[in-house]
Amino acid sequence: MTSPSPPNPEEDLPLPFPGRTGRGVRIAVIDSGVNERHPHIGRIAGGVSIGPNGEIEEDAYVDMLGHGTAVMAAILEKAPEAEYFAVKLFQNSLRSTADRLIQALEWAIDNRMRVINLSLGTHNPAHAERFAATAERAAQQGVLLVSARESGGEPCWPGCLPGVVRVDLDWECNRNRYRCEEAAGGFRVFASGYPRSLPGMPRERNLNGISFAVANMSGFVARACQDLPGQSTDAILKILAVHEGE
């Protein structure tokens, strides 16, 4: 990905929801797995791999691409005391099928996650009805699905659906901040597209984009819903709007 201009603002602002760390919040990160040896990660609570034919393999979530590790690191930076579960969907590239993506979402719902981070989605509207049913089930179970509303100017499913924390990218947003905007069907939220910095690596050479806006937002969501079990997506979005910029 090519970094835009201007560069991301400084990162020294305090995080919203002071004193909250995501403690006790179960977060599923649907991505390419995770490298627990990375200095930004450490031991996580567990996870699975969704294989090419839909087979589920427990504890087989080692990241071979690096993307999932960077995504989880961005969330963990903001919610260091959450419980993290890696759902390895992407094996050799950041591509999958709608069937496997829905299977990954169902696994996270069935395993009582509070937050699901889905940095990527599908542009194919043929799958909209199936994703809508899955998003509705997540909402009924009290699961907060955080996903990209669009990518490359095209809507993404399930991230463009009502009942989802719909994330847009704002290159000028500070990494320790987010902003909310009222829209049809509820709030949209905006966050920085930059991941957690790596020592010695220039920001423009690191991974960046909508995936990391979603990840940063998942961290804020985890902080917002700490000690608030059962709050709906709409309720959490209203809480986020109240605390925006604090």
Q: Which domains does the chain have, with CATH numbers?
A: 26-243 (3.40.50.200)
- Mean pLDDT computed over 77-85: 98
How far is 61 from 96, CA to CA, in rounded Å? 16
- What does the pLDDT read at residue 198? 61
- What does the pLDDT read at residue 71? 96
Q: How many CB atoms lie within 10 A of CB 2?
A: 6
- What does the pLDDT read at residue 235? 95
Query: Letter for the amino acid at 193?
Result: G
Asked if 44 contacts 86 with a C-beta cutoff of 8 angstroms, the reply is yes
Checking if the pLDDT of 86 tops 80, the result is: yes
Asked if 27 contacts 113 with a C-beta cutoff of 8 angstroms, the reply is yes
- Mean pLDDT computed over 39-43: 94
| 2-16, 53-67, 134-148, 193-207: segment of lowest average pLDDT | 2-16
* Higher-scoring residue by pLDDT: 184, 131: 131
pLDDT in tens, 112-126: 999 999 988 899 999
- What does the pLDDT read at residue 199? 57
- Mean pLDDT computed over 200-222: 82
